[in-house]
A = this chain, B = another copy of it.
Amino acid sequence: MKSSLHHPTNESVTATHTVGTEAPALHSDTRRIVVHTEPAYTVHIEHGLLATVGHHMRALAVTGHPVIITDTHVGPLYADSLVSSLQAADYEPLVYTLPAGEESKSPEQLLHILNFLADHCITRRDVLIALGGGVVGDITGFAAATYMRGIAYVQIPTSLLAMVDSSVGGKTAVNLPAGKNLWGAFKQPRAVFCDPDVLHTLPREEFIGGCGEVVKYTFLDNPALLGLLTKEPLTPQSSHLTDVIAQCVAAKARIVAADETEQGQRQLLNLGHTLAHGLEKYSHYTMPHGYAVAIGIALMAHLGFTHYGLPAEEYRQLIELLRAHHLPVTTEVPLDYLLEAARHDKKSHGLDVTIIVPTSHGHSERITVPHATLAEQLTASLSNV
């Protein structure tokens, strides 16, 4: 797989194709990507995987009682299937259901989970299973990182965003009143199981939001993905859905493994995010994250086009790709507001901010500029749109 990152990566991801061919087969059913964190784990991507999760966990020698953490949207749809899958492998699972929504990513809900675990005498030898989107994955991971100072957990992401973004990187957190993700831990799962079939029931807006993160990778690490998505925009019915998810997971795993402590290259993953935070905040967090990222990518791509050498044709292709996925590429939110939000971002250091700017297919650059310069350049850039 071609990598066009600026800095050399240690090739730390292995894609194992179990369909009996050496070359990546786009329409094959199964992908396994080993994420070489400490400890390493495997992301499994396969249609119908939910029905065999129990057997996969036995193969991984996961013992003890599984506790499924899910929410009121996903639980009614898939908890029964997962319970059956676990029972078929001789597990005796418990189920805990959170209210669906970002408001559940709170200290209060976290504490409810911990008390549930303690009240049911869950020990360090048991295992949590996150069945849901990013909120469920983040809160479950943080519970697993801290209950009895750490127990094992498994992720079963049920949104496109969670599959391509949250399943790699080990970041877990809940929100505090003062801000998002302020309280958390790094915790690697024992395994991640992505079943693309569950995306059929994902609300359309959420699927589109996930595409915002998918498109991001076309300008980070994987120019081939651009061709694939341009030819056929992603839908839950896409024949290349498994393959696209796998390529995004592999790209994120490569970038994370090359920079576990988020000192440099890993910041590339923030493409589109510097201004996205302001967009989400302005909407009081009613704008889906992926939509905000899409607008953020579009603005940064225009900056790349006007100031950092992104060819006009590649800029146009990127915007078309976002539009083809029904993603927004412009905003009415005042630029001043977005810049002020960026100033309070975790990536802001005093007078400077590090932005990620697309410069060619499969390629973005980290650029650290004074806030004032960013304001000037963006104003000039947008006056030309």
Contact = CB atoms under 8 A, between A and B. Distances in A.
A337 interface: no
B149 A171 contact: yes
Contact of A148 (B115, B146, B182): B182
Contacts of A146: 142, 146, 183-185
Nearest to A143: B183
B145 A178 contact: no
Given A115-B177, A147-B183, A149-B186, 12 more contacts: A107-B107, A114-B176, A114-B183, A115-B176, A118-B179, A118-B182, A119-B178, A146-B146, A147-B182, A148-B183, A149-B184, A150-B186
A298 interface: no
A40 interface: no
B114 A185 contact: no
A26 interface: no
Query: Sorted from nearest, which 4 A-B pairs have the closest CB atoms?
Result: A118-B178, A149-B184, A118-B176, A107-B111
Interface of A: 107, 111, 114-115, 118-119, 123, 142, 145-150, 171, 173, 176-179, 182-186, 346
Nearest to A172: B149
A177 B114 CA distance: 10
Contacts of A182: 114, 118, 147-148
A184 B145 CA distance: 8
A177 B142 CA distance: 19
A139 B119 CA distance: 22
B115 A178 contact: yes
A119 B346 CA distance: 15
A318 B178 CA distance: 54
B173 A149 contact: yes
A113 to B, nearest CB: 11
A149 B107 contact: no
